[in-house]
């Protein structure tokens, strides 16, 4: 009789598990947006100026992406980062980049206003890249204002960055460092952690990419700021279910990776000044890294930070619920008002202060603190 | 080993001659592909309207790997509320596994309902079918770990990479295990 009980138990357990797993038939979710805010006058963000690429000495140099004139601060040697690089469980290009993107106008976009999009303004081109698409591809090789670029998104670190790619394209290597997407360029197969924007392996090791800012916002906010925007189409050349996010959901936030304290992979360093997935806006220069929690930036409007000899002002763009960073001369007063930012009493739109821009990177705190353990933090 | 394989085949055939064995096989072989395709994100709810999309160069695309033992879908079919991604090689994997699951389930039911077969070691077939259901959709890290909030180690990722062939081996092993002690005649006549 014992054996019969065992068999019956195993059968019941198996059927029970099967029933539980049927719950995998997940439905697409609705969405919710943080509280809205007043809309300052929209203005285009000028593209960052960049110097000429470093003179090439090899075929790889010429074929690879153009070099930035300044390398951002790196807290670790490349060898340490290579040692910390792990497989993400997918092969090279297992997560395929979008190499032939197509775009729709606002009326054809069929996006909910609360959906997350990554927005870019470069010259005359204004584009939005929905998170629901990029979560399945991570990289879009595009052209903006005539310049070949890659718009990149890492779901595990919550980071969106734009890079100039030159004559090559970027792909997803399938590996991660500090949970962050490691890209590869198809000209030299050098490896580029997204947040660091610098090659840590391959013939271009040490080269930094020319960056441009990509804004994390919602479709409704972006559309109101830029009514003439184009939006990435789901006609990506791949068959995917763009309604399902394998990591969880932002709209609404459900129990999943995005809101759990735990990380999937060990970070390079831990720092409990904030929760692991709390959103920060960070900036890095040659001198170091500084960050402010998005919560504090929303509340204050403007937050000052010191970075080496530089003074960095983080500015909240309420209409987009995004952060910008500027290098501000000493002695200048920068204040937040309800609908603008005042610089020595003069009104300016938050994305158009009369100072040199620094790339503002939104990131999950664990990722920023892992890459930049000596970062300052205003929280 | 050859004798063991022969006995396993006899046992499965004997189970399939019984109405309850056949019903169990159909449930297992019909239900498992749905579970498998849902678990890897190729079958989901949330579709709107009706549409069919076929990628360019479907033959070339069909053999591109997205993760170990899983391949690029070549088509997307939306029939509200279902969204189905069609990856020929993933469907083939699902059919192989589902045949093994069905056979295990048929034998398990037949043994369970055969008094003459008391003392036969139970089939672990149903549980053996679980690992492949945990591989999840293509993303950085196994999706099931996101749901559980468990961190991934290199060993765990490697294990997930081999979950699909491991499932096939376990299911096949389950049949061999039952065949070691099952009396096909008892199964055939016991019901």
Q: Tens digits of per-residue pLDDT, A220-232?
A: 999 999 999 999 9
Question: What confidence score (pLDDT) does residue B162 get?
Answer: 87
- Measuring CA to CA, how many Å separate B148 from each of A140, A240, B18, B143? 30, 24, 40, 9
Q: DSSP assignment of B41-105, as one string?
A: TSEEE---SEEEEE-SSHHHHHT-EEETTEE---EEEEETTEEEEE-HHHHHHHHHHHHHHHHHH
- What's the pLDDT tens digit per position in A137-175? 999 999 999 999 999 999 999 999 999 999 999 999 999
Structure tokens that stand for B39 in this block: 């678990």
- What's the pLDDT tens digit per position in A193-246? 999 999 999 999 999 999 999 999 999 999 999 999 999 999 999 999 998 898
Which residues in chain B have their CB less than 8 angstroms from residue A100's CB? none
Q: Give residues with Cβ within 8 angstroms of B24, minimum separation 6.
A: B15, B102, B105, B106, B108, B109, B110
How many whole angstroms separate alpha carbon A85 and alpha carbon A80? 9
∠ CA A27-B163-A238, nearest 5°, is 50
∠ CA B48-B50-B56, nearest 5°, is 110
Contact (CB<8Å) B151/A263: yes
Strand B50-54, strand B75-79: pairing: antiparallel
Which residues in chain A have their CB less than 8 angstroms from residue B152's CB? 89, 264-265
Question: What confidence score (pLDDT) does residue A181 get?
Answer: 98
Is residue A116 predicted with pLDDT exceeding 60?
A: yes
Contact (CB<8Å) A3/B121: yes
With residues binned 3-state (H G I as helix, E B as strand, rest as coil), the percentages for chain B, rounded to 5, are 60, 10, 25
To which residue do tokens 């999840």 refer?
A: B136
CB A33 within 8 A of CB A320: no
How many whole angstroms separate alpha carbon B12 and alpha carbon A302? 72
- What's the pLDDT tens digit per position in A12-42? 333 333 333 333 333 333 333 333 333 333 3
Q: Band the pLDDT of A44: cuts 50, 70, 90.
A: very low
- Size of the A and B interface in Cβ pairs below 8 Å: 176
Q: Band the pLDDT of B77: cuts 50, 70, 90.
A: very high
To which residue do tokens 């943080």 refer?
A: A34
Q: Which of B40, B43, B80, B140 to mutate to test the interface with A (most CBs of A within 10 A)?
A: B140
Which residues in chain B have their CB less than 8 angstroms from residue A155's CB? 139-140
Task: Report the pLDDT averaged over residues A327-338.
Answer: 93
Which residues in chain B have their CB less than 8 angstroms from residue A265's CB? 141, 151-152
**Poorest-pLDDT segment among A27-31, B22-26, B75-79:** A27-31
Q: Band the pLDDT of B115: cuts 50, 70, 90.
A: low
Strand A279-284, strand A334-336: pairing: unpaired
Phi-psi region of B140 (alpha: psi -120 to 50; beta: other; left: phi over 0): beta
Residue from the list B138, B142, B152 with its beta carbon closest to the beta carbon of A94: B138
With residues binned 3-state (H G I as helix, E B as strand, rest as coil), the percentages for chain A, rounded to 5, are 15, 30, 50
Is residue A4 predicted with pLDDT exceeding 70?
A: no
CB A197 within 8 A of CB A210: no
CB A202 within 8 A of CB A190: yes
Which residues in chain A have their CB less than 8 angstroms from residue B74's CB? 239
Contact (CB<8Å) B44/A241: yes
Is residue B190 predicted with pLDDT exceeding 90?
A: no
Q: Band the pLDDT of A2: cuts 50, 70, 90.
A: very low
Contact (CB<8Å) B35/A266: no
For helices B163-181 and B2-16, angle between their N-to-C axes, nearest 10 degrees: 80
CB B107 within 8 A of CB B12: yes
- Measuring CA to CA, how many Å separate B132 from each of A200, B37, B95, B98, B167? 35, 10, 13, 11, 6
Q: Name the 3-class secondary structure at B172.
A: helix
The residue of chain B nearest to residue A134, with distances taken between CA atoms, is B139
CB A84 within 8 A of CB A268: yes
Is residue A51 predicted with pLDDT exceeding 50?
A: no
**Poorest-pLDDT segment among A38-42, A89-93, A318-322:** A38-42
- pTM, to two decimals: 0.85
- Count CA within 13 A, CB hemisphere, residue A339: 5
* B120 closest CA partner among A14, A7, A8: A7
- The number of beta carbons lying within 10 Å of the beta carbon of residue A379 is 15
Put simply, the chain B residues between 36 and 65 with a CB less than 8 A from any chain A CB are 38-39, 41-47, 53-56, 64-65
How many whole angstroms separate alpha carbon A223 and alpha carbon A70? 33
- What's the pLDDT tens digit per position in A64-76? 999 999 899 999 9
Put simply, the chain B residues between 100 and 159 with a CB less than 8 A from any chain A CB are 105, 108-109, 111-112, 118-127, 129-130, 133, 136-143, 145-147, 149-152, 154, 157
Residue from the list B44, B55, B124 with its beta carbon closest to the beta carbon of A237: B55
Question: What confidence score (pLDDT) does residue B132 get?
Answer: 84
Contact (CB<8Å) B149/A262: yes
For helices B88-112 and A2-21, angle between their N-to-C axes, nearest 10 degrees: 150
Q: Which residues of A5-26 are buried (b: 16+ CB within 10 A; e: fewer)?
A: eebeebbeebeebbeebeebbb
Contact (CB<8Å) B83/A243: yes
CB A375 within 8 A of CB A289: yes
Is residue B92 predicted with pLDDT exceeding 60?
A: yes
Q: Which residues of A113-126 are buried (b: 16+ CB within 10 A; e: fewer)?
A: ebbbbbbbbbeebb
How many whole angstroms separate alpha carbon B12 and alpha carbon B18? 10
Is residue A61 predicted with pLDDT exceeding 80?
A: no
- What's the pLDDT tens digit per position in B139-169? 877 777 777 777 777 788 888 888 999 999 9
**Poorest-pLDDT segment among A33-42, B30-39, B105-114:** A33-42
Q: Band the pLDDT of A57: cuts 50, 70, 90.
A: low
How many whole angstroms separate alpha carbon B146 and alpha carbon A255? 9
Is residue B84 predicted with pLDDT exceeding 90?
A: yes
Residue from the list B46, B53, B119 with its beta carbon closest to the beta carbon of A244: B46
Contact (CB<8Å) A96/B68: no
The residue of chain B nearest to residue A86, with distances taken between CA atoms, is B154
């Amino acid at each position: 009789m014992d054996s019969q009980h065992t068999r019956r138990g195993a059968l019941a357990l198996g059927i029970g598990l099967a029933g539980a797993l049927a719950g995998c038939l997940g439905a697409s979710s609705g969405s919710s947006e943080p509280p809205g805010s007043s809309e300052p006058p929209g203005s285009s963000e000028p593209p960052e100026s960049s110097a000429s690429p470093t003179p090439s000495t090899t075929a790889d140099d010429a074929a690879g992406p153009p070099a930035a004139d300044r390398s951002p601060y790196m807290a670790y040697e490349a060898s340490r980062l290579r040692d910390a690089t792990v497989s993400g469980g997918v092969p090279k290009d297992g997560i395929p980049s979008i190499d032939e993107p197509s775009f729709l106008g606002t009326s054809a976009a069929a996006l909910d206003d609360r959906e997350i999009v990554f927005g870019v303004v470069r010259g005359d081109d204004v584009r939005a890249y929905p998170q629901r698409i990029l979560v399945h591809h991570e990289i879009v090789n595009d052209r903006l204002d005539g310049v070949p670029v890659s718009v990149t998104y890492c779901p595990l670190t919550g980071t969106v960055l734009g890079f100039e790619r030159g004559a090559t394209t970027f792909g997803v290597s399938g590996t991660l460092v500090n949970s962050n997407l490691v890209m590869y360029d198809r000209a030299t197969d050098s490896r580029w952690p997204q947040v660091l924007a610098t090659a840590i392996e391959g013939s271009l090791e040490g080269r930094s990419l020319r960056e441009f800012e990509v804004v994390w916002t919602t479709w409704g906010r972006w559309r109101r700021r830029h009514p003439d925007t184009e939006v990435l189409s789901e006609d990506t050349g791949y068959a995917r279910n763009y309604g399902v996010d394998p990591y969880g959901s932002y709209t609404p936030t459900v129990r999943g990776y995005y809101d759990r304290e735990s990380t999937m992979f060990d970070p390079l360093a831990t720092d409990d000044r904030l929760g692991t997935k709390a959103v920060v806006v960070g900036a890095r220069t040659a001198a170091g890294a500084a960050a402010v929690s998005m919560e504090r930036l929303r509340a204050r409007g403007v937050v000052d930070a010191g970075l080496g000899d530089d003074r960095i002002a983080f500015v909240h763009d309420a209409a987009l619920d995004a952060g910008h960073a500027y290098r501000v001369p000493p002695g200048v007063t920068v204040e937040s008002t309800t609908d603008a930012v005042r610089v020595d009493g003069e009104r300016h739109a938050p994305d158009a202060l009369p100072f040199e821009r620094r790339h503002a990177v939104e990131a999950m705190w664990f990722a920023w603190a892992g890459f930049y353990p000596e970062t300052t933090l205003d929280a | 080993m050859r004798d063991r394989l022969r006995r396993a085949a006899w046992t499965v055939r004997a189970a399939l001659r019984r109405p309850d064995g056949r019903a169990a096989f159909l449930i297992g072989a019909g239900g498992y592909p749905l579970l498998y395709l849902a678990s890897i994100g190729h079958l989901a709810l949330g579709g709107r309207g009706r549409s069919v999309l076929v990628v360019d160069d479907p033959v070339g695309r069909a053999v591109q790997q997205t993760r170990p033992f899983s391949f690029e879908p070549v088509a997307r079919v939306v029939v509200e509320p279902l969204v189905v991604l069609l990856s020929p090689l993933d469907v083939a994997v699902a059919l192989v596994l589902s045949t093994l699951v069905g056979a295990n389930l048929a034998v398990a039911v037949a043994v369970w309902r055969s008094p003459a077969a008391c003392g036969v070691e139970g089939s672990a077939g149903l549980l053996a079918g679980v690992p492949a259901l945990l591989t999840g959709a293509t993303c950085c890290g196994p999706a099931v770990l996101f749901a559980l909030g468990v961190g991934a180690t290199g060993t765990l990722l490697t294990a997930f990479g081999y979950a699909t062939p491991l499932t096939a081996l376990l299911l096949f092993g389950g049949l061999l295990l039952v065949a070691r002690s099952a009396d096909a005649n008892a199964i055939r006549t016991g019901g």
